[in-house]
Amino acid sequence: MKKKLLISLICAAFLSLAAAPMLSAADAPGDDYVIPKVEGLKFKDKDGKPGKLQKLVAFPHSKHASVECAQCHHTMEADGGAIKSCTEAGCHDSLEFRDKDNAKDIKLVEVAYHAQCLDCHKDLKKEQKPTGPTACGKCHTK
């Protein structure tokens, strides 16, 4: 009886290993990675003229190795381990700019990124732990 249980446990372990997408830090882009420009993102008017978009943002994956891939790439399990861009995945695909009415809409690229990146950096800063940039110009550098 015990032996049977052990064998089925070992089988289950192997099966789940085979099924799990085996992505590791080695599969993440290198630390010169810059989050690609979101094509077609709308500008916010400033005094009747189109305002400027922010500079692009660098994202060094290796500095975030303590965060599970799937915490950010949260569709990868459903997609069989494939990593889609945040706008392609059908999640944060609104190309509108942030305004009064949609300031909390997680479909907005800007809201999604700031909620994830900025909030974690701010929380860690409050806890006086090592953290990433929290100032606009320290993230939007590229």
Q: Catalog residues that contact ligand HEC under the rule CB under 6 A.
A: 23-25, 27-29, 35-36, 38, 41, 53-54, 56-61, 63-64, 67, 69, 71-73, 83, 85-87, 109-110, 113-114, 116-118, 120-121, 124, 130-136, 139-140
Name the nearest CA neighbour of 129 among 66, 68, 71: 66
Task: Report, in Å, the least distance between residue 70 CB and ligand HEC.
Answer: 8
The count of other CB atoms within 10 Å of the CB of residue 58 is 15
- The phi, psi pair for 57, rounded to 5°, reads -120, 130
Residue nearest to ligand HEC (CB): 132
Nearer to ligand HEC, 11 or 36 (CB): 36
Q: Which amino acid is at 88?
A: E
Please, what is the minimum distance in Å from the beta carbon of residue 16 to ligand HEC? Answer: 19
**Residue with Cβ nearer ligand HEC (10 or 50):** 50
